[in-house]
Amino acid sequence: MLTAGIVSAFFSFTASRLQTAQSTTDPLTVDSAFAPFRPQVHTFWDSTYFYVESQGIPSHQMMVGITAWQQQVPIPQCYIGTNAWSIPLNPVLAATPVPVNQNHFLRGAVAVAVNGVAIFNPYTNTGADAYLTGQLDNWGGHCGRADDYHYHIAPVTLYNQTAANMPIAYALDGFAVYGSLEPDSTPMTTLDVNHGHFAPNGVYHYHASPAAPYMIGNMVGQVTEDSTLQIVPQAAAHPVRPSLTPLAGAVITDCQPNGTNNGYTLTYTLSGQNYYVTYDWTNNGVYTFNFISPSGTTTQAYNGFSQCTVPNAVNDLSLDESVLSIYPNPGNGDISLQLNSSLNKSDVREISVYSIQGTLIKRENAFVSNLDLKSISKGVYFVKVRFANQELTKKVLIQ
């Protein structure tokens, strides 16, 4: 048990260390964690938040292994634009970290994985441990009442697609979640009561574990919890049909996308029989569900939202070689921009310049051929050019 003196000393220590974290937040570091999962995710940022756009559907299989099924199935969501996930870029240490337990954060996400899938409290809105009660699939996820797929424990399976010393998620308080390794690739060191610790550079992070609390014991960073026990702001899922009730005895054995990528077939067993749910959606948002049992098929249709697409980002290689030239770089702040012959100036919606801390320095709402940055301090900056459904970012050095 921690004494009051130890607790006080802990928070005094963490408060002083957090000042370093606040002054060194680098959105490009955050962005690098999501990079292996493009184009499944799209990211951008301003001076306050790092935004993650996705449809909330992982590249790995879903639902298989669930033994306590709520009869919900995965439907892509539109976590796009103003409904993107938002991660604070300048986290502030909470005076009293709030527990992630049966009394807090029972609605909505507490983190977003680097593949753009939300991570909820390990306890469901009924207060049950989702993992121990068989509600999660082999990857730590299931679908909520809006048919929105999400995890309830740290998705360590993502290390099949990213480096072992990279974050697999970011909590909605702004701090990263790592697996069994530290950011410097050494084995995980002792965790504090919040299920994390400070790295030598003064930045706090959490770690995943195979047992409770699985990822976050207490929210170290300041968050706002509304009356529904949800962190705000955060993205919202939108249901297309009424939520169903648990189907006792059902075990999900398969879930496969259809051949046209506009639906799935979910297979489950019940009392020794195979059952199926095949469902799809149209471009104008009509969702059709076929419930297939040994005795016949029941069909239900619902009008819902139209599916959206995740914006595509043009990488720096395309920027340098074929899309846009920025020069001189390095330079004294008198920056010239030139589009290649395949693009028109009218294609550009916005040009923004950010500091390495994510602070907005300058914004133009149309293409300009020159950016006057001579009055800003020397250092590294990022020029972001946004098109209708694409964007590109270029690093520039002001000497």
147-185 tens-digit pLDDT: 999 999 999 999 999 999 999 999 999 999 999 999 999
Those residues with Cβ within 8 angstroms of residue 291's Cβ, 6 or more apart along the chain or in another chain: 275, 276, 277, 297, 298, 299, 300
pLDDT at 14 over 70: no
For residues 12 and 107, state if they share a domain. yes
| Average pLDDT score, the chain | 89
Name the H helices within the chain. 4-23, 27-34, 316-318
pLDDT at 5: 38
Q: Please answer whether residues 291 and 297 qualify as being in contact, where contact means their C-beta atoms are separated by less than 8 angstroms.
A: yes
pLDDT in the model for residue 325: 86
pLDDT at 193 over 60: yes
Predicted local distance difference test score (pLDDT) of residue 99: 98
83 falls within a domain: yes
Of the listed ranges 29-38, 207-216, 221-230, 270-279, the least confidently predicted one is: 29-38
Contact (Cβ atoms closer than 8 angstroms) between residue 187 and residue 156: no
pLDDT digits (tens, 9 = 90+) for 107-141: 999 999 999 999 999 999 889 999 999 999 999 99
**What is the domain count for the chain?**
2
Q: In this predicted structure, what is the pLDDT of residue 6? A: 35
Q: Which residues pair with 371 in a beta bridge?
A: 335
Over residues 334-349, the mean pLDDT reads 83
For residue 172, give its domain range: 4-232
Query: Mean of the pLDDT values across residues 304-314?
Result: 82
- The answer on pLDDT for 371 being more than 70 is yes
- 299, part of any domain: no
Residue 24 in this model has a pLDDT that exceeds 70: no
Instruction: Identify whether the C-beta of residue 324 lies closer than 8 Å to the C-beta of residue 339.
Output: yes
The per-residue b/e assignment along 83-112, b for 16 or more CB within 10 angstroms, e otherwise, is bbbbbbbbbbbbeebbbbbbebbbebbbbb
The residue out of 232, 264, 285 marking a domain boundary is 232
Helix (H) or strand (E) holding 247: none
Residue 286, in any domain of the structure: no
Domain-located, residue 172 = yes
Single out the residue in 200, 216, 232 at which a domain terminates: 232
**pLDDT at residue 312, rounded to an integer:** 67
Answer yes or no: is 241 within a domain: no
In terms of pLDDT, which residue wins out, 314 or 270?
A: 270
The torsion region of residue 23 among left (phi > 0), alpha (psi -120 to 50) and beta comes to: alpha
Task: State whether 212 and 317 are in the same domain.
Answer: no
Contact by Cβ (8 Å): 84, 53: yes
Q: Which of 81-95, 214-228, 335-349 has the lowest mean pLDDT?
A: 335-349
Quote the pLDDT of residue 147.
98
pLDDT for 112: 98
**Which CATH number covers residue 334?**
2.60.40.10
Q: What's the confidence (pLDDT) of residue 189?
A: 97
Q: What percent of the chain has pLDDT over 90?
A: 70
Question: Which tops the pLDDT comparison, 271 or 314?
Answer: 271
Stronger pLDDT, 26 or 53, i.e. the higher one:
53
Domain assignment present for residue 250? The answer is: no
Do 195 and 326 lie in a common domain?
no
pLDDT at 339 over 80: yes
Q: Of the candidates 177, 205, 232, which is a domain's last residue?
A: 232
How much is the pLDDT for 357? 63
Q: What DSSP string describes 45-76?
A: E-SSEEEEEB-S--SS--STT-SSB-S-----
pLDDT of residue 388: 65
